[in-house]
Chain A
Amino acid sequence: MLNRKIQPTIIDAVSFDLKLRTCEQYQLDNTVPVYSMNAGTQDVLMIEWVFKAGNWFEQKNIIAGTTNFLLKNGTSDKTAFQINDHFEFYGAYLNRTCYNETASITLHCLSKHINELLPVVAELICDSIFPEEELSTYQQNQKQKLSVNLKKCDFIANRLIDEYVYGFHHPYGKYTSTIDYDQLKRDELIAFFKRFYAEGHCTIFTAGKIPSNLQSQLNKYFGSLPLQKRAIPHIEYNLQSAQEKKYQIINDANGVQGAIRIARPFPNKHHPDYPKTQILNNVFGGFFGSRLMSNIREDKGYTYGIHSYIQNHMGETAWMISTEAGRDVCEATISEVYKEMEILRNELIDEDELSLVKNYMLGSVLGDLDGPFQLIARWKNYVLNNLDEQYFYNSVQIIKSTGSEELNELAKKYLNPEDFYELTVI
C-alpha cells in the first residue's frame, strides 16, 4: 500500500560532488583575454564584451550610463536604424548594460550568423559617434521614463536606501535627476567613449555551441583594436553613510502600500564572513522557505513577497531586506523583521532547518551549473572579482560544513537593528 505520508528517500544534495566545468581561456593579439564555455545543444551563442567603463570612472553623473546606452545609436558609417536593422535582420539581440565598475555589450545570436555580426560590434567599439539628435531624443525619453518611475514607491526606496548606505557621491549610492539628463554634453560622451571603450580595457566572455572558427574571427575583428594599452585610472571613493538611521517618506499621499528597505553595510566577496553569511541569509530571507517569508507572508499575509540579500557589488556592499507591504501593516512588518533578527541572535538554528537550507542551496548550485549561459555567468563573476574556481569549491565546502554556532556568531555580529538603515516610502 502506498504511504503518501512519507517522503520518498532522497539523496542529500550535501553529498553531491559538485564540479565546475572549466572555462577555456585565450588571448587575442592585443592581449584582450577571452573566456570560452563550449556547451549546450542548441546552435546559439552569447558573446559579452566587458569594459572597465562603469559609473566608477565618470566625472559627472550618468556619463557612463549614457555612453553605454548610445553605443548602438550611430557610427561614421551607419545610423542607429541601420545598426539595429542589421542585428535584428539576423535575429540577434545586442544589449548593453552599465554597472558600477564595468559596462557591457552583449550579443545573443544563432551561431551561423556570427560572421555578419562581429564586424559591426567591432565598428561600434571603435567608431561610435553619438549624434546630437540621438542624444536629445534619449534625454527627452529618459526624462519621461524617470517621471513615471518617480511615482513608484519601490523605485524611490531603492534609490534612497543606497544613498543612506553609501553616500550620494559614491558610485553605489548616486542616482539620476532630470537635471543630470539636461546637462549631458555630446563631447563628454565622446571623450568617455574614447578613453574607456575605444582605448579601454576589455574582457570577452563567450558561451554556447562555439563555432570552430570563433577564436580566429574574434582575433580578426577585435585582436588589433587599440585596447588594453592605457592604464585603468585608479579612483577611490569613501563611503559616506548617513548619520540618521530611520526614514519615512510619503511619495504618494493616496498610496496603498509602503516600500520597506532595511540595510546595513557589509564587506565584499573576499571577506571570510561573506560565503558563510550567504547561508545565514538564506535562513533569514533568501528563499521562499526563509523565516521572513514564512512569517510575514505565509503566516501573516502582510506582503506578496519579502526578501533579504547581499547586494552584488565588487567593493564594500550592503545586506538588504526588501518588501512592499500594506500601508497599515508597514510598522508591524518592520518589527517582525527585527524579531527574526533577534531570534537568529539568541537561538541556534536547529539541525533540521539548517540541513534543509543547505540542501536547497546546493540543489540550486547544481541547477545553476546547467547550461552554457549560467556557467559563463558564474565564471564572469569570478574573473571580474579576481576570484578563481577555488572560490567555487571553497563556497561549496563552506555550505556543507558550516554549523549553527558559527551562524549564530555571524547573526550576533551582523544582525543588530542599530546597525541598519530603515526606510519606508509610501
Chain B
Amino acid sequence: MIPGFITQNSPALLIMVPLIAAFLCPFIGKISAAARNIWAVGAMALTSAIAFLLAFDVYSAGTRVYVFGASAINLAVPLDSGGIPIRIIFTVDAMSALMQIIAATVGFAVILYSVSSERSHSGIESYYTLYLLMIAGVMGMVSTGDLFNFFVFLEILSISSAALIAYRIDKGTAVEAALKYFVLSTIGAMVILIAIGIYYGEYNALNIAVIASRMQFTLLDQIALVLVMAALAMKCGSVPMHFWTPDAYSMAPASITAMLVVASQASLYGLFRVLFTLYNVTMNAATVGWIIITLGVLSMVIGVTMAIPQKDVKRLMAYHAVSQTGYMLLGVGVGLAVLGNQSLMDAFGYMAMEGGIFHIVNHAMYKGLLFLTAGAIFLRIGTRNLNKMGGLGHNMKYTMIFFIIGALAIAGIPPFNGFASKLMIYESVFAFNPILSIIAMVVSILTLASFVKVFHSIFMGPKLPEYENVKEAPAPMLIGMAILACIVIAFGLFPQQVVDTLIVPAAHALVNQGAYISAVLGGA
C-alpha cells in the first residue's frame, strides 16, 4: 500500500524529489561512480513513480489542487485573503497529468540510456544534477497553477538545458549552440515576465484561475497574449522561430536531445494552457486559432523540406521535430479556431484537439527513440555525418530495429502510434479545411522519404571496412530504447484505449475553462 501522505503530497514530491536528488548528486558522486548512477536512476525512478501515482489520482478523481503551506492542502482561498489565492498553488488536471506521464516515461528511459552513453565522459555528477533539474523544471511547468511559478520553472528548465547542450563542448560548437538557445530562452522568458507583469497590474493576481475568471481581453491583454504566445511558440520550435532547434538538438548529447523534445513540449503545453485556460472564448478564438494553424503549417512544411537535404543525422532529426510540432499546432489550432461554436467542436474540433494532443505523446516517444538511436550510432562510430555511414545494420541489429520502429512511427505508417494520431488529425482537419489536411499528408510522405534516405545511409549496404568491428550499443542504452519502442508499438496497436483513457480527458480539461477555475476557486 502507498502511504497516504505520499498520495496527498504527490504534487510537491514531484518537484522535491528531483530537486533534492539533483543537489545531492555531486556529493554522492564523491563516494563512487556506481553509487552516483544508482542515486540518479533511483531518483528518476521515484519521480516517475510519483508522476504516475499523481496521474492515476487525477484521471480517476479529477483535478488536484495543492496549496503549499496552507493548513489544508487544497485550501486555495483562505477566508481572510479577500478571495485571492495567496500561496503557491499547483493545479494538476488531466492535461497536466498527461504531460507528467510523458516527462516521467521519457525521463526514465533517457536516464537508463545515459548510464552507458555518458560513461566515458567527465563531469557526470554535473550531468545528472542538471538532468534532474531539467526534470524538475518540466514537472513544475506542467503542474503549476501560477503564472510567476511557470516563469520560474521555465527558467530552471532553460538554464539546465543550456548547460547540458554545452556539455560536450565539442571544440566550442556545442557551447555556441547552447549560447544561442540560452539567449533566445532568456529573451523569451523576459518577455513572458513582462506579460505576467501586465496581468498582475490589471488583475492583481498571478494565479491562472483568478486571472482567467477576471479576463476582459483589453488591449493590454491582447498584447500580453501575443508576448506569451510568441515566446512559447519560439520555445517549442515553431517556424519561423525555430532556428535554435537544429543547432541545440544536434549539438546536445543524444540523451539530452530526447529530453529537449519533452522540454519543447512543456512549452507547447504552456502555450495551450494560456490560450485555452487563461483566455478561452474571451479572445477572438478564430483569429488566434488561425495564427496557431499558420504556425503549424509553416512548421510542418519548412521543417520537413529543410530536413531532407541535411547530412548531419541529428540535425535532420531536429528539423523533423520542428515538422512534427507543426502537426500538434495544426490539430489544437483547429480546435481553437472553432472553440466558440459548440456544434463545430462536436463535429470535428474535439477530434482535432485530441489528435494534436495524442501526437504530443506519440512524438515524445518516437522522436525520443530516434534521437537515442542516433546517439547509439554516434557512440559506436564517432560521427553524425550521413555521408560517412553505411552498412551498420550488419553490426547494430537491435539499434536498426529500434530505428525502423521510430522511423515508421514518425512517417505515419500503420500500425505504429504516429499513424493513429495523424489519422485523427487528417480526418478532423479535413472537415475544417481540406487543403490543410492535404498539406499534412504530403508532409508525412516527405517524412517517409527522408527517413528512407536516413535508413539506407546508416544501415543498408555492405559492411564498410572502417566499421568492420563496430559493436552493438551497450545493454542499458538498448533498454532505454526498448522502453520507448514498446510504447510506440503499444500505442499504435491500442490507440482507442489510449485516446479514451488519457487523451479525451486531457482535451476536455483544456477546453473546459470553468472546471479549471472552479477547481481552484471553488465557491469563493
Asked whether A and B interact, the reply is no
